[in-house]
Structure 1
């Protein structure tokens, strides 16, 4: 069997890797991943400059992989070292997208006997596959910092939207969203989305390591809001399976665990409006019951609801049972019709209810109400109602002005 040249072996392995990644994600993502990995290794292995990967817009006219013949002058042992590091970097970059059988699929893509040539170069795909699986199993959430989780989650979300709506719409939406949320979460100034539409080889996000100095729960709040906004966009455009399902099913388990640790609740994002409203009213009721009995607490809330029924139509779907008032019973009833109401209208209504309740309470009962309400409601629900338009910070400011 004739010995193959370096360019032949590299061309085959690169095309195989691009093919497998394309099937798992997209051709654009595959090319970007390979370009990025080669770019990171060029300083160490300068001969990699002889390899060029064409963008998808050129594949109709040129080969995806273009290797200059000068690479055949490089010692095979050096080709092997670079090839091994390249494959390791690809699997690390892809994370869970690589899966347990990524390199097995790459091997199956290769022509007969090419695996033999790779082993002669020191590239053992079976060993690299085992090494990768071991790394996945041993990865701990304590090794994942703010930089890691933001880059992973934001990139995952971008790629998910890209596959559904295209790069142009996705870039514009996420760029606008990041800039808008920067007013609420100032540390997002450390996160910049690069315009990869016009420049090949750029990382999707540039993130300053300064982000690691931010408290993790604040980063969690930003991620929760980011996912919530994207989920709304995703749902409004009526794409097949839900975004949250895609996150749960396709994200690396270590990152899902990390999100949970920093307070990101994916389940809350998809909660029906009825459950959110019920949870809010239940939190209010529980706080009022701390200083009065249940009967009086229900009366107070019902009076406020009746006061605003004419202004906010969704309140006609809300009822707190003033007759069957056992402590164990579920006294809050939300009719399913409420799901047809606009979240923004419900947000405005809840804001008015909380403001009115607060103004009716005395100094002692009302002084720490918002603080108690946040604690009773839970951070994920707080973020959810804030996304609907409830501004608890503004309520606190108004309270301070009154008192």
Structure 2
């Protein structure tokens, strides 16, 4: 079910009305969210409901087992069960054909044709998002940052929460899960704020992204017929299309969650006004970049080691981020390109220079800042 569809326009008011009729029944509210989320997801393909349910059961169980076990080896074993199950599903559905095609391609390079046509695998919508969200739960339970829940309904609602199920933001269990334990009272001002956020998201998606997409598709589907300058214009339109699509969906998700009394993290913060690529990645898809920071970059050693370790970890983060976005070498190249952009800032120690938004406490940015914004935007368009 798409946010900008008639189905969602009917679905949302019905769920909203039923939800607040149950205002004094927290468990029933959580149950309604879980059922509504499964209906929302099942309208795309009901068969994949079993997949998200299985992941939910595994992580719920592993969380309890991790807490009960005092022996470190067994605690780590339960954590790895969660990691391997979740990443195993993600790897099979999203990356099987990529690895098989490259395996066959390697044989063809040496003159051996294996006659491989690819597997007929349907990629479940949102699997990259809810996999990372539920992994944050078991990892944080293992780190003793979060007590495991005994409320299976609340946990099911957390994993499948429909506003951010298919396109994020990727929430931390430490932030979103506790909100399912608290009584929620209807707040008129919060609901109005949520509606404004939804309308702003729809504007980005329908007016900006969808209109840009018409030009992008026309240009890139017939690129042989156009000049270089037109292709550059197509890349610029595509840059705004991606932002309108993704940030628009995030705004709708955040606004919808406010209608139900929930707070989701901000996912975009004026990324195209960034003065360098490090600032850009602090402002673009914030929930993903901070997830990689907390659950991959820091465990790898973060910035604690020497310069070689910092460079290595930076490249790992960007290459994995590229691969997360899509099972194609172009995404890996995109990740590597962003790592190369980031490298000079890291080597000079300038990767945390711009923590506040540009022109903070001023009316306009300086000419130097405008130049920096322009260069960063060009690098982004090129990537």
**The structure with more strand, counted as a fraction of residues:** 1
Kindly indicate whether structure 1 or structure 2 has the higher relative contact order, using CA contacts under 8 Å at least 6 residues apart: 2
Larger Rg belongs to: 1
TM-score after normalising by structure 2: 0.29
TM-score after normalising by structure 1: 0.28
